[in-house]
Amino acid sequence: MSANRAVAYKGPGEVEVIDTDYPEFELKDGPGVNPANVGRKVPHGAILKTVSTNICGSDQHMVRGRTTAPAGLVLGHEITGEVVEVGPDVEFIKVGDIVSVPFNIACGRCRNCKEGKTGICLNVNPDRPGSAYGYVDMGGWVGGQAEYVLVPYADWNLLKFPDRDQALEKILDLTMLSDIFPTGFHGAYTAGVRPGSTVYIAGAGPVGLAAAVGAQLLGAAVVIVGDLNADRLARARSFGCETVDVSQGDPKDQIEQILGVPEVDSGVDAVGFEARGHGSDASHEAPATVLNALMDLTAAGGALGIPGLYVTGDPGGIDEAAKVGSLSLRLGLGWAKSLSFTTGQCPVMKYNRQLMMAILHDKVHIADAVGATPIGLEDAPQGYADFDQGAAKKYVLNPNGYIQTA
């Protein structure tokens, strides 16, 4: 059996590149694997040789020790790969295909999948609807920050790129289709962004920047991005966004300077549960800050897209309520303003083919917008450390040498 190398969470602040098993068409016991999934046969799956796999802010939450992720969990849910083996039940995906893997694991058979709600598949995680690779409480499907990875329900889940050479040429853009580009676009779309909209996006990390690109694709008149990190704000300005430094105070005041009014049509939360306060409180964690601010600055009748991650278990929460994902929200304000909210995992398959076409036909350059930076698999620990320090980059792991610029 061939060897495999993978990035594993070892404990708060620590990741390590380890030797691990080559995938088989059966889910084995291991860190984070739901006992009910152990021994689950995967004849409908495919084994991929990883072309690219990205470090995500959601991974960073686990690595900081802000979830209940167990030590030894193999990380990585943003995966692009080449098919090297297929199970006996795979009919359409072929060996040699270059494919994007939605981070949602979906069966394609349950009621939710048939309704397009692939982020909350009912059959892949025994604990709750929804699953993902290499993530806490998501059923235990092994992560893809590795040389090889198993993908179940391959005919359903995998998005095949139409031309191998073109795909490899544009791989730094296409690698974003597994998560952050659809997720950011979903945030803008569910916030009701349309031609002529004004939109405020909280967070200039990769998902926030992807949401800004998505808002531009949807025709927004003005896209405003708020953050504490000057380098990330500069990246937002590099592709035409206005910016707000929330360390300087209430974003409403700066929005009024930009628009002439202190409100926007649409708001996007691309920060999540590790949010900090605004102004003089910017050095302190205040997990409800972004959601409350968005309710305040979004116009009556508007909508909030909330792709930022919120969890049900946070050992590092600032109080007992936060440790179980309970936040002090001004829901009365949101109700009074008739605001709409969309939360949860992005259903990647709803958007990934259309966004692929936008990339392949040069309508968008998402890699430039998010600062795609290829690094080797063995450099993953340093990549995590740099990202944690606020690097304005999206680190793309290159475990098998497909990315020639790495």
- Judged against a pLDDT cut of 80, whether residue 170 lies above it is answered with yes
Domain count within the chain: 2
Based on the domain organization, do 370 and 306 belong to the same domain? no
Q: Is residue 134 part of a domain?
A: yes
Euclidean distance between CA atoms 281 and 268, whole angstroms: 21
Based on the domain organization, do 224 and 277 belong to the same domain? yes
**pLDDT-based confidence at 1, cuts 50/70/90?**
very low
Torsion of CA 87, 157, 205, 362, to 10 degrees: 110
Q: Is residue 276 part of a domain?
A: yes
Based on the domain organization, do 338 and 191 belong to the same domain? yes
CATH of the domain at 360: 3.90.180.10
CB 313 within 8 A of CB 65: no
Q: Is residue 67 part of a domain?
A: yes
Mean pLDDT of the chain: 95
Q: What is the DSSP pairing of strand 264-269 with strand 198-202?
A: parallel
- Bridge partners of 52, per DSSP, are 80
Based on the domain organization, do 232 and 372 belong to the same domain? no
- With b for 16 or more beta-carbon neighbours within 10 A and e for fewer, the 325-346 pattern comes to eebeeeeeebeeeebebbebbb
Q: How much is the pTM?
A: 0.96
Report the residue count for the chain.
Answer: 406
Based on the domain organization, do 83 and 10 belong to the same domain? yes
Angle, helices 180-190/352-360, rounded to nearest 10 degrees: 110
Q: Is residue 210 part of a domain?
A: yes
- Judged against a pLDDT cut of 80, whether residue 406 lies above it is answered with no
pLDDT of residue 23: 97
Half-sphere exposure of 270 (CA within 13 A, CB side): 35
Based on the domain organization, do 361 and 285 belong to the same domain? no
Q: Is residue 406 part of a domain?
A: no
| pLDDT digits 0-9 by tens, 313-366 | 889 888 998 899 899 999 999 999 999 999 999 999 999 999 999 999 999 999
| pLDDT digits 0-9 by tens, 183-219 | 999 999 999 999 999 999 999 999 999 999 999 999 9
Residue numbers of the domain that contains 128 = 3-179+351-397
Based on the domain organization, do 209 and 338 belong to the same domain? yes
Sign of CA dihedral 106, 112, 115, 117: negative
CATH of the domain at 325: 3.40.50.720
User: Which of 343, 364, 384 is the last residue in one of the domains?
Assistant: 343
Based on the domain organization, do 168 and 195 belong to the same domain? no
Based on the domain organization, do 134 and 209 belong to the same domain? no
pLDDT of residue 26: 96
Output the CA–CA distances (angstroms, integers) from residue 326 to 313, 346, 351, in the order listed.
10, 21, 30
Question: Once rounded to an integer, what is the mean pLDDT over residues 135-145?
Answer: 94
Q: Is residue 245 part of a domain?
A: yes
Percent of the chain at pLDDT exceeding 70:
99
| pLDDT digits 0-9 by tens, 80-114 | 999 999 999 999 999 999 999 999 999 999 999 99
Based on the domain organization, do 306 and 373 belong to the same domain? no
Quote the tokens at residue 385: 């450390």
Output the CA–CA distances (angstroms, integers) from residue 217 to 185, 249, 321, 389, in the order listed.
9, 29, 38, 30
Based on the domain organization, do 142 and 166 belong to the same domain? yes
- Judged against a pLDDT cut of 90, whether residue 284 lies above it is answered with no
The label of the residue with tokens 């610029």 reads 405
Based on the domain organization, do 28 and 168 belong to the same domain? yes
